[in-house]
Structure 1
Amino acid sequence: MDPDTMRGDGADVYWRRRMSVLVGVLVVVAVVAWACSSGGSGPERSSSAQSSPGAKSSATPAPDPLLAGLRTLAMGTASPSPTPTAPKPSPTVRPKRPGDPCAAEDLVLSMQGGREQIYTGSARPSFIATLVNIGPVMCTADVGPRALEIRITSGADRIWSTADCVSGAGSEVRQLPRGVPYVRSLEWDRRRSSVDCRATPAAALPGTYVATVRMGGLRAPKGVFHLR
């Protein structure tokens, strides 16, 4: 074959191959460009249409049901704040006036004597009852033998009491200055007493006895002693 003919045919083949590769590259680039433009065109158009000041939306977007439910729940179940109430005024305590009757909480009652002592023969037990006003002012109290009672018992047996067989009214109202004790001393003759005022009271038997002093609801610590 003619060398010139061979040279011409080879050049044609070379350019055909180059054109085929170029066309293939262009097709691939076109496909990729189309895919990119078609995938992002929808949201971009919608976004541009909504953001454009001149465009008007034909329908109002539906509210998010989750947010609407939370908003309704918060508004419907919120507990109302408590209404502040004004503090109640404390009751006015009327100050005590000097000479008013003593209150029980203002009095202290105590007794001395007869504590674990033994009295033999004709020895007589002796006791001292003390009443003190610890209130803010002077007050008055009945310290008569019935109101301020000294009682001696032995077990369940009531042996003797200052409230038994009292002549007259039996009351004795005294003024009790603050901090100044009222003192009553007593010596027991070792005989029983009774409410019917027997002419000859019986003598108390040897044994263990308990002395107490009381005034209304007040009680002093008891004293235990023994007769021999």
Structure 2
Amino acid sequence: MDPDTMPGDGGDIYWRRRMSVLVAVLVVVAVVAWACSSGGSGPERTSSAQSSPSPGTSATPAADPLLAGLRTLAMGTASPSPTPTTPKATPVQRPKRPGEPCAEGDLVLSMQGGREQIYAGESRPTFLVTLVSTGPVMCTADVGPRAMEIRITSGADRIWSTADCVSGEGTEVKQLQRGVPYVRSLEWDRRRSSSDCRATPPPALPGTYVAMVRMGKMRSTKGVFHLR
């Protein structure tokens, strides 16, 4: 007989031993369960879960205003698409017909003579005027004494002009072929002229004079000469 087993209390001892073993097993099971739950949901996992953004939310909410501002700035500074422009139609110029008035841009006016020359005694200054058309077809030009004026001045003093004392209409229309010059030769009698057409105009005094041909807006080069 077991010495620890006393008559009358053998059943109590047996069940107390069985309860101790059961409690020990339950404690071991609880410890294992606690260890497993701690390894899966410890502080590190909680921190990782907190640092990971949930789907559909911004990782850095404070950066949203900055991103929005950058988008607005990019939209505001974007180069606008070029607006298509309609090219202006170049007016088509009608070709000139033969016999129409010459355009000033197609005429070349020049004068020869009277350049730094001295006329003494009774010698008279002489001038040679030429007018040339560079147009594509024959054109007409008025070369009368009023339209093509030869003027002589001395300083601000107007001495003589072909436009003074012109008899009749004073027009003389000429046909100008391309490159063929119209030539006029002129001799000045060394006397003044005026619009009142006096019968005996006074002679010009000795001095320095300038001759020039004027035709519309065109001007020839100046010819300087001297009377003695």
CA spacing shift, 1:168–1:81, aligned 2, 3 Å:
same
> What is the rounded CA distance, in whole Å, between the counterparts of 2:53 and 2:151 in structure 1?
108
Structure 1 residue 155 displacement after superposition:
1.8
1:108-123 equivalences under 5 Å are: 108-123=108-123
CA spacing shift, 1:48–1:94, aligned 2, 3 Å:
same
For residue 124 of structure 1, what is the aligned residue in structure 2? 124
> What is the rounded CA distance, in whole Å, between the counterparts of 2:194 and 2:90 in structure 1?
50
TM-score by length of 1: 0.72
Give secondary structure in 2 for the equivalent of 1:221. Answer: coil
For residue 153 of structure 1, what is the aligned residue in structure 2? 153
For residue 61 of structure 1, what is the aligned residue in structure 2? 57
TM-score by length of 2: 0.72
1:72-221 equivalences under 5 Å are: 72-75=72-75, 78=78, 80-221=80-221
Structure 1 residue 154 displacement after superposition:
1.6
CA spacing shift, 1:217–1:49, aligned 2, 3 Å:
closer
**Deviations 1:187-217 (CA, angstroms, capped at 9, x unpaired):** 1111121111111122222221111111011
> What is the rounded CA distance, in whole Å, between the counterparts of 1:153 and 1:144 in structure 2?
20
CA spacing shift, 1:65–1:225, aligned 2, 3 Å:
closer
Structure 1 residue 35 displacement after superposition:
9.4
**Deviations 1:8-51 (CA, angstroms, capped at 9, x unpaired):** xxxxxxxxxxxxxxxxxxxxxxxxxx79973531365579996x
For residue 3 of structure 2, what is the aligned residue in structure 1? none
For residue 9 of structure 1, what is the aligned residue in structure 2? none
Structure 1 residue 221 displacement after superposition:
0.8
Amino acid at match of 2:162: T
Identity of aligned residues (%): 75
Structure 1 residue 116 displacement after superposition:
0.8
**Deviations 1:91-131 (CA, angstroms, capped at 9, x unpaired):** 22222222221111111111000111111111111000111
Unpaired runs of at least 5, structure 2: 1-37
> What is the rounded CA distance, in whole Å, between the counterparts of 2:124 and 2:154 in structure 1?
16
Structure 1 residue 74 displacement after superposition:
3.2
For residue 42 of structure 2, what is the aligned residue in structure 1? 38
> What is the rounded CA distance, in whole Å, between the counterparts of 2:182 and 2:156 in structure 1?
30
Amino acid at match of 1:204: A
Amino acid at match of 2:57: P
Structure 1 vs Structure 2 CA RMSD: 2.9
